[in-house]
Chains A and B, each alone.
Chain A
């Protein structure tokens, strides 16, 4: 019943059988951790611990330890928050939007991309939580909980509060989507395991037995979840952009922000997926599952979203000039020529110029080039947020309050902490969970592997 096209290359190479998929993906879950994995995991944990010193100091002494001042009251922390949330967009985009578009190449990468999403959102959440200063009281500020002041409720007119709802909904729905996808694969591991491992994976698999009735329901749940997650992904960065766009700060007060932020988020998210997948592919020898074809597809998404981001930058400039508002014009002139010119030009080079290299087929099918460019894109996207946030704030309405922002070691330390957290979680995932969705890949083995005549 399957229609195979002679134009499309096979998605899974190496003439794999369904049983080979089980063997290849379960191998690293069942084997003893490799030395390479142990080293990588060890470095992540050390990074996490070093970063934790900065987190503990921030909590103990207060956020005065950060480099913020009266003029620049938002800087490094929110830059990191937006950066991590942006990275966290690729996973659910790949599994939800590409599922709705029936893009089968997603099947080899969606599991790891979703895991990355979840860990990135956890990292992002560290910043708003820490900037509260006293996070243990934070629930009262962030959630509509009854309290002894009236109750004085939270302000539902505030984009910052919308963010609380958007990020927590996004996190929990992505987590459910990811876990549901893992259930049949946990059952596979359970049926191959013995002893305590069988018990643990048995509990995680929720007693999955592969019945046709359950699969039928499962498919309809996946489809609806994808349908729900699609507007959700787009809403999250839209709402993050509202944090800025609904203010009256020159450089922030623009209607272009929501689509521009969403495109930027997908752009950086795909770059991070590529960075991680290229490493995972090499370490776990998954070259037959994540092929050059997959890498090329992702690079194409990067060109598209990167170009949208480039057009957004140019549009912002044009509108600043065209609006005739001097404050707006100055904000953009200052970005290009002011004291933060280097941040601006790093952003422009990394985000607008470098992804255009992917127009060359040689470059977008080269693993080394893709790896380097994926890291450059994420550096660029960090600078984008830094430029938007700091350059707009540091030239206040009163020239007497003009100031510069200098990060302290604690600003840097908290960022390092989130890197430690992210990689610790990712390496644990890569070792103990199947990094590729076995059940989904098995379903396309017959129709899109080399063996089919």
Chain B
């Protein structure tokens, strides 16, 4: 309860200024907690040094699971459990199983990946996002710097750095954990 974090928030209103600022501030040795934006800013993740998301791998794995399940289901049901002659075809008529296999592959890949994304990003209906600034979802980009993790630097220094790199305002905010 008593744990609280002290953030310095640099507010930017232009994505290109923001991108340059991120490089500059990280270059000065300041650790950026996170940058919040109203829309995706291309190249921001690279500037912040984030690794490429591994979600495509998750999608592939879930897709492969879907393919396997679909084939096993169809082959077992029509080939093993209750074989029936339909239109004189083989019991296991693989070309006929293609559409359902394809659909289940897509279904599991899509749901599996989105599910993984929601869990990885901790998105859920009952979550209170504790917005640092309400204008983040409107038109401002906010760079949050955790002062506790930048103990080597003075607040005034970081403040000046933010202003120099184009922040339109700099605010200090305490967040209860």
Residues of A within 8 A of B (CB): 1, 17-19, 21-22, 144, 150-157, 159, 161-162, 165-166, 169, 172-173, 176-177, 180, 183-184, 187-188, 190-192, 202-221, 224-225, 228-229, 231-232, 235, 239, 242, 439-440, 442-443, 446
Binding site for A on B (CB under 8 A): 13-16, 19, 34-45, 48, 50, 52-53, 55-56, 59, 63, 73-74, 77-78, 81-82, 84, 86-87, 89, 93, 96-97, 99-100, 102-104, 106-107, 109-111, 113-114, 117-118, 120-131, 134, 136-139
Q: A155-B78, A155-B84, A165-B99 are in contact. List 9 more A-B contacts (CB 8 A).
A: A22-B139, A151-B82, A157-B89, A165-B104, A192-B138, A209-B136, A211-B34, A217-B121, A439-B38
Given contacts A188-B138, A220-B53, A442-B39, whether A209 and B131 have CB atoms under 8 Å apart is yes
Q: Are B120 and A217 in contact (CB under 8 A)?
A: yes
What distance in Å separates the Cβ of B81 from its nearest Cβ neighbour in chain A?
7
Interchain CB contact under 8 A, B106 and A173 = yes
Residue of B nearest to A170 (CB): B103
B123:A207 contact, CB within 8 angstroms: yes
Q: Please tell me if the beta carbons of B129 and A209 are within 8 angstroms of each other in the complex.
A: yes
On whether the beta carbons of A153 and B82 are closer than 8 Å, the reply is yes
- Please state if A235 and B56 are interface contacts (CB–CB under 8 Å): no
Q: Which of these, A154, A169, A180, A221, contacts B106 with CB under 8 Å? A: A169
CB pair A224 B50 closer than 8 Å: no
Known: A172-B111, A184-B137, A217-B53. A212 touches B48 (CB 8 A): yes
Q: A157-B89, A191-B134 are in contact. Are A19 and B139 (CB under 8 A)?
A: yes
Contact A439 B39 (CB under 8 A): yes
A207 to B15, CA, bound (A): 23
Q: Which of A150, A157, A216 contacts B44 (CB 8 A)?
A: A216
Specify which of B48, B86, B110 is in contact with A228 (CB 8 Å cutoff): B110
List, sorted by A's number, 6 A–B pairs whose CB atoms are closer than 8 Å: A150-B82, A155-B78, A215-B40, A216-B45, A232-B103, A235-B102
- B111 near A219 (CB under 8 angstroms)? no
- Known A-B contacts A153-B81, A153-B82, A172-B107; the reply to A446 vs B15 at CB < 8 A is yes
CB contacts (< 8 Å) of B97 on chain A: these are 156
The answer to whether A151 and B137 have CB atoms under 8 Å apart is: no
Q: Determine if B59 and A224 form an interchain contact, defined as CB atoms under 8 angstroms apart.
A: yes
**Residues of A with C-beta under 8 A to B104:** 165, 169
Residues of A within 8 A of B107 (CB): 169, 172-173
B117 and A221 contacting across the interface, CB-CB below 8 Å:
yes
- The residue that B74 contacts in the complex, of A156, A176, A443, with Cβ under 8 A, is A156
User: Min CB distance, B140 to chain A, in Å?
Assistant: 9
Given A156-B96, A220-B56, A213:B138 Cβ within 8 A: no
A225 with B114, Cβ < 8 A, contacts A162-B99, A207-B122, A209-B136 known = yes
CA distance A18 to B86 in the complex (A): 60
A161's partner among B73, B100, B129 (CB-CB below 8 A) is: B100
Task: Out of A188, A191, A218, name the residue touching B117 (CB < 8 Å).
Answer: A218
8 Å CB contact of B40 from A152, A161, A218 = A218
Distance (whole angstroms) from the CB of A241 to the closest CB of chain B = 12
CB distance from B157 to the nearest CB of A (A): 23
**Chain B, residue nearest A203 (CB):** B125
A-B residue pairs, 9 tightest by C-beta: A207-B127, A18-B139, A216-B45, A206-B123, A162-B99, A153-B77, A203-B125, A209-B129, A443-B39
A54 to B11: give the CA distance in the assembly, Å.
Answer: 59
B119 to chain A, nearest CB (A): 11
Complex: A156 Cα to B59 Cα, angstroms? 26
B120 touches A1 (CB 8 A): no
Q: Which of B55, B77, B100, B106 contacts A217 (CB 8 A)?
A: B55
A221 and B123 contacting across the interface, CB-CB below 8 Å? no
Decide if B56 touches A442 in the complex (CB within 8 Å): no
A residues less than 8 Å from B131 (CB atoms): 191, 209
| Nearest-CB residue, chain A, relative to B38 | A442
- Is B121 a contact of A214 with CB atoms below 8 Å? yes
Chain A residues within an 8 Å CB radius of B42: 1
Cα of A397 to Cα of B19 in the assembled complex, Å: 71
